[in-house]
Structure 1
Amino acid sequence: MTRRCVSSPRGRENGVFPVFTLQGETLSGMLCERREGEVMPNDQVRTLFNAPNERRSVVAGIVQSGAGRGRIALTMACYTVWMVACCSGPAVAVQQEPGLGAEGAGLPAWMGPLAVMAVASLIIALWFKRTRKVPEGASWLMALASVMTLGSALHLVWALDRSLPLGADMALYVAMSVLVGIGAALFRVEIDRVFGWIGTQQTLYQGMIGTAVAIAVFVFCSSAGDSGQAPVALYGLALALPFASQALLRHVVRGFPRSRYFAHGKDVPLPFPATFVATSGVQGVAAGMLYMGLFLYGGGIVFGSVEILAGQLAAATLLLATLVFLRMDFNRLIYKVAFPFAAAGFVLLAAAPAFQTIGVMVLMAGFCYLDLVLWSLGACLMKNMGLPATWIASCPGAALFFGVVAGGLLAALLLDGRVLGQALVLGSFVACFLLAAALFLSSGSNLKYGWGTVQPGEGGPEMGELAGVARFSAIEHGLTQRESEVMVLLVRGKARRAICEELMVSPDTVKTHVRAVYRKFDVHSQQELIDYVVRERESLAPDDSERLLGT
């Protein structure tokens, strides 16, 4: 392979790959141009693993995120625990058996609330598309918390009183499902709104911290008595969590500019995030089959059990490791880590039924990992693509919950009356389904085209242009408007004097903005900044296989 070096005071915006060290010195004017389609030696290794300073930056970022924005993680933890509590409980009777009161053959307790969440999410998306209205204010959050608390109270009564006649039992369950499902769908939008404001990286950090806090709460509830009392502690705690979440969220939002925060994306076109929706639907179908399998054959493996908590902890640990040590984009995180991880769990269940606990742990790790990454993907589309939270939360949310319900009903139909050994064969088919979906949905152009929200030629960051990638990265790192302008000029190779002339500002002002850019990107020179943006362009560009196929 040949390389041609050129000297340029400004740099080039197409095909530029900086060489920034030579005998310990920085070369600001020497740039190397790569022929299209060629791969530099060790390119993939160099761009896959984080450098030591990047690893330290990630760890420091997580610590600072937890200390400075810990209320966001607590809000997410409260919401997660509340959802699990309201989706747990005894079987829902569909027919009454003599002498068993309302108990009898039925469906899992989570089926009703998730079905209502699916319908509510779809209605929210359609309503927003038509009206572009966003409810806001303390009174709105107070009303939402009241609905969620009433749903928790009805769930507590329904779960603990199993002596009601079948008709009364079903009426109570339906009322609980409606309140819980509507409250959960609406509050999910408010959490997504916060994530869209803080950005992709902070969402990943807060998601990991929130998962750890939720696990701690589940462990506390499980230790609050014997096994028969643990669900009661969880159900009782769910009564207080909605108002705790509302208070935390109000405190978080108080620091955001009200008009910009609630009006974000209200007036932009609403493209349908097709790939994001398809990914969420696939996840939902696979998760529904798993949850129905646990309901039919899981025994003591239920929400909040040791196996599921261990899987969630493994997911947070795995995500932390990938963020610290690897430079991963969403394609890799979703389709090359999370989907194969979940598929491996189904394979383990099918191939080694004696080790069911391990298989469930791997599966829960894969699904929890996928949840955290998809929360972050939604934040990316909201902050970097300018799309509204109501739309991005509701469309994939509807697909996810419809998928869970559909997967659960399909599994119940296929597994009806079958012994565990026969039922486990389904696991291998689900594994193949997940891997096939990962191959079909994975594309290097997903992020470039916003997971279906931007059509080729309509805009978005142009991956062949470093300035476009620089603007994309500037948004993600929280640069101000003037800092973004300075950064773009730096990436173009402009000297500071030229930046002063172009922006018509003083050298001291440019010096201040340059320092701020370097600090936020954790770099120490103009060449390191250019190198960072080049790596970003490589991660956003189509894969080599797609380039060869002309896609």
Structure 2
Amino acid sequence: MTPTLTFGIASALATGVLSLGITLLDPLLRWVVAFVLPAFIVLLFYCAKGRVFPDQKVLYRESANDLFIPYRFMATSVTQGLALGIPLGFLSFSGFLSQMLDSVGYFFAAALALLAVLVLQMDFNRSIYQIGFPLAGAGLLAVGMLGPSSVMAGVLQVTGFLYLDLVLWGLGSYLIKNCDQPATWVASCPSTALMLGRALGIVVGSVALQALADSAQVVVFFCTLAFLVLMTALLLTNNANMRTGWGFVRPGDPDEATDSYRTCEVVAQDFGLTQRELEIMYSLIEGKSRKEIAEDLYITSNTIKTHLHNLYGKLDIHSESDLKAFVAKRERMFSTEEDAVPLPPEEV
């Protein structure tokens, strides 16, 4: 995830510089660049793909795990697209669009992603739903309060959209590596959702411009949109499951591999375990005896027995070997083939 985000941030900065340079060109040259540059980028990607994936079987390999549809990822992408598409449609039909805003937005998004995700190493839930979505909501609010020609509104909107784009691509690399999902599958589902949301937003924004009679209605419209974006963030925030919730996943973790303790945390979240039950479960997974656990936690053996009884009941298991097999199976779900922990042999 860290290399993906690092390259993404560097690309965002380079794009901001390039976009700023394009604004200084003659209008005729801008049109030439608009047609030539995309073709050049596609050619570069094609050459890079040939070097990285010389064998097509590797590129389009089948996943060792069952394919799962990243519903929450897609819902996030649709909301992201809508949050930009609606004001984009509103601004374009009102005659105010500026490439300078895109350049500034690229710089701000890159700086924010660098600080929040790589420096502070925030997990994906907080990065997306506590920073990205409120920023997009603030952009919608600014469009309504300051007007469609506001520079601040445009910068906020572009920054929020691009910041989410960078963080979500980092999340995509996690799903590909740690959940063994094909890259083409992970890229296509959210990208389709993003483009769908953006196209729908442009239509809604352009229709709203024609339908809203006065400035007061414009303010109400965009304030409502900002509120809906924030409500969506609350609904999509979920720490319950690592595979689809990303709550324990953050760039910069050692080797970015899933360890036993993180897996135990996920099990504790999923099955409502107490903090003490989590500590005992992890100690058993580490191979400690009940006596050692009692000394570490300053509790009696009878207390451990009580906690284990409750733990086994919540997980619907009956022994320590069942517990180790249960956690090992979960850990395999979150690991690459190289990092996967072998399942303990079943007792006859």
TM-score by shorter chain over 0.5: yes
User: Which residue in the other structure is 2:51 paired with?
Assistant: 251
User: Which residue in the other structure is 1:329 paired with?
Assistant: 123
User: Which residue in the other structure is 2:221 paired with?
Assistant: 426
User: Which residue in the other structure is 2:298 paired with?
Assistant: none
Maintained 8 Å contact 1:466/1:492: no
> Which residue, 80, 83, 91 being the options, matches 1:294?
91
Maintained 8 Å contact 1:289/1:404: yes
Partners of 2:93 and 2:219 in 1: how far apart? Answer: 12
User: Which residue in the other structure is 1:344 paired with?
Assistant: 138
User: Which residue in the other structure is 2:22 paired with?
Assistant: 221
Q: Give the CA deviation at 1:414.
A: 2.4
Partners of 1:308 and 1:273 in 2: how far apart? Answer: 29
> Which residue, 207, 214, 220 being the options, matches 1:413?
207
Q: Give the CA deviation at 1:372.
A: 0.6
Partners of 2:214 and 2:183 in 1: how far apart? Answer: 42
Unpaired segments of 5 or more residues in structure 2? 247-257, 266-281, 289-333, 335-348
The alignment status of 1:466 with 2:264, answered yes or no, reads no
Query: Relative to 1, partners in 2 of residues 1:240 and 1:464: Cα closer, same or farther, differing over 3 Å?
Result: closer
Partners of 1:306 and 1:467 in 2: how far apart? Answer: 44
User: Which residue in the other structure is 2:296 paired with?
Assistant: none
Maintained 8 Å contact 2:79/2:229: yes
Partners of 1:260 and 1:300 in 2: how far apart? Answer: 43
Q: Give the CA deviation at 1:268.
A: 2.9
Where do 1:72-87 residues align within 5 Å? none
The two structures have a TM-score, normalised by structure 1, of 0.43
- 2:45 is aligned with what amino acid? S
Q: Give the CA deviation at 1:319.
A: 0.8
Q: Give the CA deviation at 1:329.
A: 0.4
User: Which residue in the other structure is 1:313 paired with?
Assistant: 107
Q: Give the CA deviation at 1:310.
A: 0.2
Q: Please state whether the residue corresponding to 1:240 is helix, strand or coil.
A: helix
Q: Give the CA deviation at 1:228.
A: 5.4
Query: Relative to 1, partners in 2 of residues 1:402 and 1:258: Cα closer, same or farther, differing over 3 Å?
Result: closer
Equivalent pairs: percent with the same residue?
Answer: 28
The alignment status of 1:268 with 2:65, answered yes or no, reads yes
Q: Give the CA deviation at 1:419.
A: 6.2
Partners of 1:432 and 1:291 in 2: how far apart? Answer: 18
Where do 1:95-174 residues align within 5 Å? none
Whose helix fraction is larger, Structure 1's or Structure 2's? 2
Query: Relative to 1, partners in 2 of residues 1:320 and 1:364: Cα closer, same or farther, differing over 3 Å?
Result: same
Q: Give the CA deviation at 1:385.
A: 0.7
Q: Give the CA deviation at 1:405.
A: 1.7
- 2:24 is aligned with what amino acid? S
Maintained 8 Å contact 1:322/1:328: yes
Q: Give the CA deviation at 1:451.
A: 4.1
Query: Relative to 1, partners in 2 of residues 1:248 and 1:260: Cα closer, same or farther, differing over 3 Å?
Result: closer
User: Which residue in the other structure is 1:358 paired with?
Assistant: 152
Partners of 1:206 and 1:253 in 2: how far apart? Answer: 19
The alignment status of 1:281 with 2:78, answered yes or no, reads yes
Partners of 2:192 and 2:124 in 1: how far apart? Answer: 21
Partners of 1:261 and 1:339 in 2: how far apart? Answer: 33
Deviation per CA, 1:219-238, whole angstroms, max 9, x where unpaired? 3322232x454233322333
Q: Please state whether the residue corresponding to 1:224 is helix, strand or coil.
A: coil
Query: Relative to 1, partners in 2 of residues 1:373 and 1:221: Cα closer, same or farther, differing over 3 Å?
Result: same
Partners of 2:262 and 2:156 in 1: how far apart? Answer: 41
User: Which residue in the other structure is 1:375 paired with?
Assistant: 169
Q: Please state whether the residue corresponding to 2:196 is helix, strand or coil.
A: helix
Unpaired segments of 5 or more residues in structure 1? 1-199, 453-462, 471-487, 495-539, 541-551
Q: Give the CA deviation at 1:282.
A: 1.3
Where do 1:171-250 residues align within 5 Å? 200-225=1-26, 227=27, 229-250=29-50
Q: Give the CA deviation at 1:450.
A: 2.2
Partners of 1:400 and 1:318 in 2: how far apart? Answer: 21
Q: Please state whether the residue corresponding to 1:263 is helix, strand or coil.
A: coil
Deviation per CA, 1:163-200, whole angstroms, max 9, x where unpaired? xxxxxxxxxxxxxxxxxxxxxxxxxxxxxxxxxxxxx1
Q: Give the CA deviation at 1:434.
A: 0.7
Partners of 1:214 and 1:420 in 2: how far apart? Answer: 37
User: Which residue in the other structure is 1:384 paired with?
Assistant: 178
> Which residue, 238, 249, 257 being the options, matches 1:443?
238
Deviation per CA, 1:451-502, whole angstroms, max 9, x where unpaired? 49xxxxxxxxxx99527479xxxxxxxxxxxxxxxxx99x9489xxxxxxxx
Q: Please state whether the residue corresponding to 1:416 is helix, strand or coil.
A: helix
User: Which residue in the other structure is 2:303 paired with?
Assistant: none
Maintained 8 Å contact 1:274/1:451: no
- 1:426 is aligned with what amino acid? F
**RMSD over aligned Cα atoms:** 3.2
Q: Please state whether the residue corresponding to 1:338 is helix, strand or coil.
A: helix
Maintained 8 Å contact 1:276/1:396: yes
Q: Please state whether the residue corresponding to 2:150 is helix, strand or coil.
A: helix
Q: Give the CA deviation at 1:345.
A: 1.2
Q: Please state whether the residue corresponding to 2:65 is helix, strand or coil.
A: coil
- 2:19 is aligned with what amino acid? F
Deviation per CA, 1:71-130, whole angstroms, max 9, x where unpaired? xxxxxxxxxxxxxxxxxxxxxxxxxxxxxxxxxxxxxxxxxxxxxxxxxxxxxxxxxxxx
Q: Give the CA deviation at 1:418.
A: 4.2
The two structures have a TM-score, normalised by structure 2, of 0.66
Partners of 1:335 and 1:449 in 2: how far apart? Answer: 17
Deviation per CA, 1:344-365, whole angstroms, max 9, x where unpaired? 1111222223871011101111
